[in-house]
Amino acid sequence: MLKYSPDDYDTKGLLRLPLSFWAILLLQARTWVLFVAAGASRQQGESLLALFYPDNHAFWLGLALGIPAALGLLLTGYRQRLPRLWQAWRWVLVATLFLTLGVQLGELWQGDEPVSSLVLLVSLLDVVALVALLAYRRLRDCFDPAENH
Of 123, 25, 117, the closest CA to residue 74 belongs to 25
pLDDT tens readout for residues 42-101: 778 788 787 777 778 888 999 999 999 999 999 999 988 999 999 999 999 999 999 999
Of 102, 88, 115, 100, the closest CA to residue 30 belongs to 100
Residue 59 lies in a domain: yes
Residue 23 lies in a domain: yes
Q: pTM for this one?
A: 0.87
pLDDT at residue 111 is higher than 80: no
Residue 75 lies in a domain: yes
Residue 5 lies in a domain: no
* The pLDDT value given to residue 147: 66
Q: Hey, is 15 helix, strand or coil?
A: strand
Determine the structural domain holding residue 76 and report its residue range. Answer: 18-148
Quote the CA–CA distance of 94 and 131 in Å, as a whole number.
9
Residue 13 lies in a domain: no
- Looking at the structure of the chain, the number of domains it has is 1
